[in-house]
């Protein structure tokens, strides 16, 4: 039997898809239709009932954000195809900022349909959805920040 012999002095503050705090959340289960579904990404209704996929061009709403699962393999950063993924439809979750200028607490939350990336601005050309939520913490591009949101209220398409 393997025994752990080294330990980090500190743990990560957060990881993409980690539940941010103890406020009321709504979690649902959906079957992953993509080859894999990363943690902390926007998720839309799949082709099948109770199915889901990474939000992409052509989607007009998101059902939630994929939640990190600690019981998967230690190196897993995604749900595999056909697994039952946990999706947060309401609550607070850590996500990667993908806006060149970063985000500031209180900014709106936009999802770029071409990439499934989160930012604080509309990508324009009808290529974004504004979800009912806000950035709870500030962060630079590529860093993690908390999104507080409620996808039970429909998203609004961008310009």
| pLDDT, tens digit, 9 for 90 and up, residues 14-64 | 899 999 999 999 999 999 999 999 999 999 999 999 999 999 999 988 999
Residue 85 has pLDDT above 80, yes or no: yes
Residue 7 CA to residue 13 CA, distance in Å, equals 16
Q: Does residue 133 form part of some domain?
A: yes
pLDDT of residue 5: 76
CATH number of the domain where residue 143 is located: 2.40.300
List, in sequence order, every residue forming a beta bridge with 74; answer none if it has no partner: none
Residue with the larger pLDDT of the pair 41 and 153: 41
Q: Residue 74's pLDDT band (boundaries 50, 70, 90)?
A: low
Q: Does residue 125 form part of some domain?
A: yes
Residue 152 has pLDDT above 70, yes or no: yes
Domain count across the chain: 1
Q: Does residue 17 form part of some domain?
A: no
- Widest CA span of the chain, in angstroms? 58
Q: Does residue 8 form part of some domain?
A: no
Q: Does residue 4 form part of some domain?
A: no
DSSP states of 56-73 as a string?
-TT-----EEEPP-TTS-
Q: Which domain does 55 fall in, by range?
A: 26-157
Q: Does residue 14 form part of some domain?
A: no
């Amino acid at each position: 039997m393997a025994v752990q012999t080294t330990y980090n002095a500190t743990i990560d503050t957060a990881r993409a898809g980690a539940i941010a705090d103890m406020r009321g959340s709504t979690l649902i289960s959906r079957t992953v239709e993509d080859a894999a579904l990363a943690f902390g990404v926007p998720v839309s209704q799949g082709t099948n009932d109770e199915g889901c996929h990474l939000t992409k061009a052509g989607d007009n709403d998101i059902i939630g954000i994929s939640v990190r699962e600690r019981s998967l393999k230690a190196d897993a950063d995604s749900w595999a195809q056909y697994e039952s993924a946990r999706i947060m439809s309401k609550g607070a979750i850590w996500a990667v900022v993908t806006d060149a200028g970063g985000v500031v607490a209180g900014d709106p939350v936009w999802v770029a349909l071409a990439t499934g990336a989160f930012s604080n601005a509309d990508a324009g050309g009808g290529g974004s959805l504004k979800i009912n939520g806000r950035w709870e913490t500030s962060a630079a591009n590529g860093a993690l920040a908390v999104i507080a949101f409620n996808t039970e209220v429909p998203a609004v398409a961008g310009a």
